[in-house]
Structure 1
Amino acid sequence: MTSETKSNLARLGLMIAVYLILAARIPSYYSQPGIAALLDSAVLAGIIAIGVGLTMIAGEMDLSVGSMAAFAGILSIQLFPYGMVPALVIVVLFCGLLGALQGYCIYKLNISSMVFTIGTLIALRGLTLVVSNEKTVLIPFENIAETDFLSAKFFVFSIPSATLLVLVLLVDFFSRRTLWGREIFAIGGGRGEARAAGVSIRRPIVVAFSISAALAGLAGSLLSFRTGSASPLGFEAVLLEAVTACLIGGIALAGGRGSILGVLIGLFTIRFLVSGIAALGAPFWMQSLATGALLIFVIIAEAAIGYVTRRRRMARALTA
């Protein structure tokens, strides 16, 4: 069993513990509608966290995803008269192209992705306000019934929540089993070593940012279709939850370590905690406090385990 598998199992145990503790106080957690609601609540941050996680594995960070999702939401609603599927495909492809351009600029300019994507975060938000004329955009009332199937439940899954789980499996397979995916891990683990081994630096950065932007566009479009509206100021808080899910899920800020399955575990750990606290009637600030405390606990636990592991390796080396 690899160290990463052990790490994911430990995180899975934490997620189950959080769920069981809260489920003991909240009977609806065991019910079919309760589980369906938990799955649906994870869709937006989950789809975006997959893309953000890829950029973090590459040793970068995409801070523009909230603005990208809002931009995609406005565009998708405006293109809705041409059909929901064509609108979704056009918006996701366009966002992916913007992400690829963003990744190429980061590579070519050799600039920090955090600095660059703060700029695109602001620019995209401004562009979204211009495109929407600073107003919330609505699906015409006579067409709103066309989106009802997005809220329909198949056992505990809706189309958006099923999409999230499928994307986790697909992107995890891509990142681990394909050449381009392994390149993302390689450059995150060490740019100099990757370059010396002949690994392209440009391609994995462009691919990671393209996927991140496309997934942000998909999330923004799906949620806007489901609610029937899109606000140019929407999705401002989603970045924080997505990054927190990645960190709790084991993605290293330094890059080169983690998995998309781990991101899913981190995401549901947060969702179980936040939804449970809300269901218990606690004030809103308690949700933020509990999430922050959970993240700090995971970071400290990881540091302690890493310290003990290094000490044991050093002791074995000295006695060998």
Structure 2
Amino acid sequence: MSAAAAADVAVGTKPPGKGAAFGYWWDRVGIGLVLLLLILLMALLAPNFLTVDNALNVARAVSINAILAAGLTMIILTGGIDLSVGSIVAVSGVGAVLLWSSGTPTPLAVLGGVAIGALAGMVNGALVAWLALPAFIVTLGSLTALRGLAYSMLNGQPLVASELGYRGLGNGSIAGIPQPVAIMVVVYAVTWFLLERTRFGRHVYAVGGNMEAARLAGINVKRVLLTVYMLGGATAGVAGVIFSARVLSAQPTAGTGYELDAIAAVVLGGTSLAGGRGRILGTLVGAVIIGVLSNGLVLMNVQFFYQLIIKGLVIIIAIALDSLKRFGRGGS
């Protein structure tokens, strides 16, 4: 079996039977309908929801989670997971601000923050690929270690940088479009191209569909795993730089809990936690759903702890839908 054939088997282009009808149509139509219904609901219940200013606020809020979810999509497509992306947001943002504060030129400070994220992802990927350690355990450990690193880099205190050279990345606009949204569009365009138009993308789907079959087909599975975790770390680094630009400071608490929203966006968007199935544009819709829900709850003055309960239920529903789809396809 060739690598391309293995990928085609893993991805699949048609529903395999009546039992898979729910998953097939949910991935293509259902998630869009959910977003439409949610927007209509919020328009009725949330004051000032359908205003231009609020739409821009939603777009800015969605951008960071969507960028995180783009990287996570590639990881989850291989059957992996990365629980450390929220901590990578923190350490990358802290690194970028520290670099800029030390006199590093702004472009290099930004690239440095992204590189820190990519390096953290590469370490995760190396442990998963070469030592065959469970991704859940590796990234759970990284979540704690990287959060501690962010604190240690600042001696436990936030660093305010009111004149931050790249502050426009978090608060500026290009032709009326918020810069974080423009960056998000670029990230999704690149990710879509990698997954849908390159051999690497076919290999990602093949590894997630059946890792052993992919290995027998000649795919370098370890290289694929290392690459997706590194790309996931890099996108988390981008999110961290944007976050630091938005708040004009280095915050060791940045990104706390962001991994849950990102995973929810990926699964809501139709990507299977078992790997091998999913589309990057579905992830974007899933991220918008999370953003619209959060924004609407704030506008309705729902207390924060109730917001956590609702978002937690959304995550459970997303995982339940994934299990239902896999059951319909005959998966375990």
TM-score when scaled to structure 2? 0.85
* Aligned position for 2:132: 110
| Matched letter for residue 237 of structure 2 | G
242-251 vs 282-291, greater mean Cα deviation: 282-291
| Matched letter for residue 164 of structure 1 | M
Among 57, 61, 64, the alignment partner of 2:81 is 61
* Aligned position for 1:230: 250
* Aligned position for 2:200: 180
**Please, what is the CA RMSD of the aligned residues?**
2.3
Residue 22 (structure 1) shift: 0.7
Residue 60 of structure 1 aligns to a residue whose secondary structure is coil
Conserved 8 A contact 2:272-2:322? no
* Aligned position for 1:131: 153
Conserved 8 A contact 1:151-1:159? yes
CA distance in 2, matches of 1:308, 1:97: 39
* Aligned position for 1:218: 238
Conserved 8 A contact 1:44-1:238? no
Conserved 8 A contact 2:89-2:236? yes
CA distance in 2, matches of 1:211, 1:111: 19
CA distance in 2, matches of 1:305, 1:61: 19
* Aligned position for 2:183: 163
Percent identity reads 26
| Matched letter for residue 307 of structure 2 | Q
1:85 aligns with 2:107: yes
Unaligned stretches of 5+ residues in structure 1: 311-320
1:268 aligns with 2:288: yes
Residue 79 of structure 1 aligns to a residue whose secondary structure is helix
* Aligned position for 2:52: 32
| Matched letter for residue 90 of structure 1 | G
| Matched letter for residue 180 of structure 2 | P
Conserved 8 A contact 1:58-1:187? yes
Conserved 8 A contact 1:50-1:168? yes
1:6-25 aligned within 5 A: 7-25=27-45
Deviations along 1:255-285, whole A, 9 cap, x unmatched? 1111111111111111111211211112223
Deviations along 1:132-152, whole A, 9 cap, x unmatched? 12111121x4x2476257423
Conserved 8 A contact 2:172-2:178? yes
CA distance in 1, matches of 2:281, 2:319: 18
* Aligned position for 2:66: 46
Q: 1:121 to 1:291 in 2, by over 3 A?
A: closer
Conserved 8 A contact 1:68-1:95? yes
Deviations along 1:127-168, whole A, 9 cap, x unmatched? 2222112111121x4x24762574234566210111112211
Conserved 8 A contact 2:90-2:240? yes
CA distance in 1, matches of 2:275, 2:180: 29
How many residues align? The count is 308
CA distance in 2, matches of 1:108, 1:86: 31
* Aligned position for 2:93: 73
Residue 307 (structure 1) shift: 6.0
